[in-house]
């Protein structure tokens, strides 16, 4: 028996790559139907012109997530109200992959969105790391201490959990004795570079979070939902 | 001109449109496009400034003149054309459409044009003709626009550089660049601003104004602007955050002041998506929240004056009335002081 809870749980692992937040939190999941061995999910986005590459990635990842739920043999993901909805929906139904889905479009180069995904995973990593570092600095850790810390020495928190998740996706170590403060390539940051690194990282986080706020507002206006209260706003 | 608390502000709106997106001039993509703009408008405007969809798709000359110059405090407005001929058969907002108003009100509008590098040699000659006719000092470029089989281009493409050389020759010194969502799928990031970096260092006597300050790639934009003194940021789209997300707005402005300086940020409403009246009023009243002042400092009337008009006046050689105080440019910041790029 497939439960709605299990399905939602799986979908909450799917993120908008650009906004670095789960599609469930962003209210991109507009409908969910669970049947005998099958799940139907509808996705919606803030505008008809949201970038098709990211739209494809979310639809693709949602389908994969649904198929990972025990008991699900069939998963149908439909993207609504988007200028490439027909292409993406056909691509999802037949498992054609990105290149196949958009093979009629000249500017698509090759099948892989891996490079794009990596760019945004790196940004997400830097942003989560900055958030965690700010919290530690506010708790009176010094920049030098941050540079010397190992992961096991960083107190537990939700922010830390998210940071560890982003590290793992980039293939960086998450063991307790791994160095805490590394760049997206895993190189340890020297003590005197910590504050400068965070100065830039903050702009990355601001960019992602401001964009997410913008997208939430536009989505709410489009579907006449009540806008969310954005909690992150005060944390930067 | 706007006056508040004894301070005078000369206002140049760096980015306005007079578009035509009604049912008779759009295909299904055109409809989606204007719907998308309407989403921006309705999600970030104060309620009393909301239009209905019909008015938003097609507004009159009277409406525009009223909103900008009668109640909106704007002294000069810069037309930034957006052609989108594949969506709007007569064009969304072309130089020719804008020229009707610019010719009627020559002391109010600055007319910018555009070029299409994918038209090659023929286009180059046409561009020169157009310049002879309109005599513009700036162009607005939309690198994600469709043209035949192509769904986008880069500023450092061969033909684009040929056009930029032509701009140099003609004295078209202000290159406004819109970075936005690609209309069709690319497995690349269509917001990427790296091509600005290439041309800004190659064409040092041209000014590159990145619209929307690169949002949602603010960090990439800041990184480029630190290194290239001829890169500017246009505040279209960032401005309305002042109302609904004031802390984000404070941080965006704070970061821009840190990475660029107060001389390279330009006010714009992106009319008719948003209206200058409330943006100008709120900006003049705005201050960085106290808990962020330690890092970002405060916004003084002199800084606001530069952003609202003096910076654009410098780029477009516009005479500023003598009653408006003019601080010298600070031209702060040099590459060496800034951190290494972590990404």
pLDDT, tens digit (0-9, with 9 covering 90-100), for A24-81 = 999 999 999 999 999 999 999 999 988 888 999 999 999 999 999 999 999 999 999 9
CA distance B93 to B78: 13
Decide: helix, strand or coil at residue B255. helix
Burial of B198 (0-12, 13-18, 19+ CB in 10 A): middle
Same-domain check for residues A19 and A98: yes
Provide the CB-side half-sphere exposure for B80 (13 A, CA): 22
Kindly report the nearest CA distance between residue A133 and chain B, in angstroms.
15
Q: How far apart are the first and last CA of chain A?
A: 43
Last residue of one domain, picked from the residues A112, A130, A165? A112
Under a CB-based contact definition with an 8 Å cutoff, are residues B245 and B252 in contact?
A: no
Same-domain check for residues A83 and A172: no
User: Is the minimum CB–CB distance between A223 and chain B shorter than 8 Å?
Assistant: no
Confidence of residue B334 (pLDDT cuts 50, 70, 90): very low
Confidence of residue A234 (pLDDT cuts 50, 70, 90): very low
Same-domain check for residues A16 and A102: yes
CB contact under 8 A, A203 and B248: no
Please report whether residue A65 resides in a domain: yes
How many domains in chain A?
2
CB contact under 8 A, A210 and B252: yes
- Closest of B4, B2, B10 to residue B310, by C-alpha: B10
CATH number at residue A52: 3.30.300.130
**Nearest chain B residue (CA) to A209:** B248
Please report whether residue A228 resides in a domain: no
pLDDT tens, position by position, B213-243: 888 889 999 989 998 999 999 999 999 999 9
User: Is the minimum CB–CB distance between A231 and chain B shorter than 8 Å?
Assistant: no
User: A46: which chain B residues are within 8 Å (Cβ-Cβ)?
Assistant: 39
Residue A70 parent element (H or E):
none
User: Is the minimum CB–CB distance between A184 and chain B shorter than 8 Å?
Assistant: yes
Please report whether residue A231 resides in a domain: no
Read off the pTM. Answer: 0.92
Same-domain check for residues A179 and A104: no
User: Is the minimum CB–CB distance between A47 and chain B shorter than 8 Å?
Assistant: yes
Last residue of one domain, picked from the residues A112, A142, A161? A112
Provide the CB-side half-sphere exposure for B56 (13 A, CA): 21
B166: Cβ–Cβ under 8 A, 6 or more apart, which residues? B115, B124, B127, B128, B172
Q: What is the pLDDT of residue B183?
A: 55
- Tell me how long chain B is: 343
- Checking DSSP bridges between strand B2-4 and strand B7-9, what pairing results, if any? antiparallel
Same-domain check for residues A102 and A127: no
The DSSP symbol for B320 reads P
Under a CB-based contact definition with an 8 Å cutoff, are residues B228 and B200 in contact?
A: yes
CA distance B52 to B278: 18
Same-domain check for residues A137 and A94: no
Q: Count Cβ atoms below 10 Å from residue B310 Cβ, excluding itself.
A: 24
Hey, what are B59's tokens?
A: 């507004």
Q: Positive or negative, the Cα torsion across A1, A26, A229, B293?
A: positive
CA distance A127 to B182: 24
Please report whether residue A186 resides in a domain: yes
Examine the pLDDT at B10 and tell me if it is beyond 60: yes
Same-domain check for residues A124 and A172: yes
- Number of cross-chain residue pairs from A and B with Cβ atoms under 8 Å apart: 149
Q: What is the pLDDT of residue B337?
A: 53
Under a CB-based contact definition with an 8 Å cutoff, are residues A88 and A37 in contact?
A: no
Q: Which fold has domain B2-317?
A: TIM Barrel (3.20.20)
Residue with the bigger pLDDT between B86 and B283: it is B283
Per-residue pLDDT, averaged over B255-276, amounts to 95
Residue with the bigger pLDDT between A140 and A100: it is A140
Q: Which of A96-110, B20-34, B93-107 has the lowest mean pLDDT?
A: A96-110
pLDDT tens, position by position, A11-39: 999 999 999 999 999 999 999 999 999 99
Per-residue pLDDT, averaged over B179-198, amounts to 72
Last residue of one domain, picked from the residues A80, A112, A144? A112
Q: What is the pLDDT of residue B188?
A: 65
| DSSP H helix total and E strand total for chain A | 8, 5
Same-domain check for residues A101 and A123: no
Provide the CB-side half-sphere exposure for B96 (13 A, CA): 7
Kindly report the nearest CA distance between residue A44 and chain B, in angstroms.
14
CA distance A140 to B262: 33
Strand partners, B231: B208
Please report whether residue A188 resides in a domain: yes
User: B40: which chain A residues are within 8 Å (Cβ-Cβ)?
Assistant: 218
Of chain B, the percentage scoring pLDDT greater than 70 comes to 93
CB contact under 8 A, B187 and A202: no
Examine the pLDDT at B268 and tell me if it is beyond 90: yes
Please report whether residue A236 resides in a domain: no
Per-residue pLDDT, averaged over B304-313, amounts to 98
Q: What is the pLDDT of residue B211?
A: 92
CB contact under 8 A, B32 and A49: yes
The ipTM value here is 0.88
User: Is the minimum CB–CB distance between A166 and chain B shorter than 8 Å?
Assistant: no
Please report whether residue A166 resides in a domain: yes
CB contact under 8 A, B247 and A202: no
Under a CB-based contact definition with an 8 Å cutoff, are residues B249 and B286 in contact?
A: yes
Per-residue pLDDT, averaged over B10-26, amounts to 97
Examine the pLDDT at A175 and tell me if it is beyond 70: yes
Examine the pLDDT at B147 and tell me if it is beyond 80: no
Which among A210, A218, A221 has CB closest to B215?
A210
Which among B184, B188, B252 has CB closest to A105?
B184
B171: Cβ–Cβ under 8 A, 6 or more apart, which residues? B137
Kindly report the nearest CA distance between residue A112 and chain B, in angstroms.
7
Query: Which domain range does residue A127 map to?
Result: 119-222
Per-residue pLDDT, averaged over B313-322, amounts to 96
In angstroms, the Cα distances linking A151 to A166, A167, A193, A195 are 14, 11, 19, 19
Same-domain check for residues A165 and A91: no
Per-residue pLDDT, averaged over A160-187, amounts to 96
CA distance B234 to B210: 6
Please report whether residue A193 resides in a domain: yes
């Amino acid at each position: 028996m497939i439960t709605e809870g299990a399905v939602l749980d799986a979908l909450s692992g799917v993120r908008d790559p650009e906004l670095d937040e789960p599609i469930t939190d962003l209210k991109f999941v507009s409908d969910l139907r669970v049947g005998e061995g099958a799940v139907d999910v509808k996705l919606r986005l803030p505008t008809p012109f949201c970038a098709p590459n990211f739209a494809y990635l979310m639809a693709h990842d949602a389908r994969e997530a649904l198929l990972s739920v025990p008991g699900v043999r069939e998963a149908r993901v439909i993207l609504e109200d988007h200028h490439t909805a027909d292409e993406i929906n056909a691509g999802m139904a037949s498992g054609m992959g990105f290149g196949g889905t958009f093979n009629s479009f000249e500017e698509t180069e090759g099948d892989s969105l891996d490079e794009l995904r990596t760019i945004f995973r790196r940004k997400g990593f830097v942003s989560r790391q900055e958030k965690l570092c700010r919290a530690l600095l506010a708790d009176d850790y010094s920049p030098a201490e941050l540079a010397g810390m190992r992961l096991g020495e960083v107190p537990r928190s939700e922010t830390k959990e998210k940071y560890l998740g982003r590290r793992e996706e980039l293939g960086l170590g998450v063991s307790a004795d791994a160095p805490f403060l590394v760049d997206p390539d895993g190189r340890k940051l020297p003590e005197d570079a910590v504050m400068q690194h965070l100065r830039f990282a903050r702009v990355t986080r601001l960019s992602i979070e401001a964009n997410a706020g913008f997208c939430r507002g536009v989505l709410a206006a489009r579907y006449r939902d009540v806008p969310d209260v954005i909690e992150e706003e005060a944390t930067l | 001109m706007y006056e508040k608390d004894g301070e005078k502000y000369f206002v140049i709106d760096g980015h306005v449109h007079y578009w035509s997106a009604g049912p008779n001039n759009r295909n299904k993509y055109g409809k989606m496009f204007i719907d998308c703009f309407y989403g921006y408008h309705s999600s970030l405007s104060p309620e009393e400034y909301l239009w209905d969809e019909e008015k938003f798709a097609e507004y009159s000359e009277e409406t525009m003149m009223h909103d900008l110059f009668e109640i909106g405090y704007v002294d000069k407005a810069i037309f930034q054309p957006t052609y989108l001929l594949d969506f709007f058969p007569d064009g969304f907002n072309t130089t020719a459409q804008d020229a009707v108003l610019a010719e009627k009100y020559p002391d109010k509008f600055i007319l910018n044009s555009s070029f299409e590098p994918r038209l090659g040699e023929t286009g180059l000659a046409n561009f020169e003709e157009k310049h002879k006719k309109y005599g513009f000092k700036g162009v607005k470029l939309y690198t994600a626009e469709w043209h035949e089989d192509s769904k986008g281009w880069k500023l450092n493409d061969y033909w684009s550089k040929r056009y930029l050389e032509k701009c140099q020759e003609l004295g078209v010194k202000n290159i406004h660049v819109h970075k936005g969502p690609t209309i069709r799928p690319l497995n690349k990031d269509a917001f990427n601003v790296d091509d600005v970096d290439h041309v800004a260092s190659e064409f040092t006597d041209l000014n590159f104004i990145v619209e929307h300050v690169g949002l949602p790639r603010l960090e990439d934009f800041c990184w480029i602007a630190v290194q290239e003194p001829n890169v500017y940021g246009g505040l279209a789209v960032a401005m309305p955050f002042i109302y609904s997300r004031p802390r984000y707005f404070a941080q965006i402005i704070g970061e821009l002041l840190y990475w660029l300086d107060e001389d390279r940020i330009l006010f714009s409403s992106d009319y008719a998506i948003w209206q200058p009246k409330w943006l100008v009023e709120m900006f003049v009243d705005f201050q960085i929240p106290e808990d962020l002042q330690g890092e970002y400092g405060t916004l003084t009337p002199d800084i606001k004056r530069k952003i609202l008009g003096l910076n654009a006046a410098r780029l477009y050689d516009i005479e500023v009335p003598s009653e408006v105080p003019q601080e010298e440019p600070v031209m702060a910041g040099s590459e060496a002081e800034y951190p290494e790029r972590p990404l």
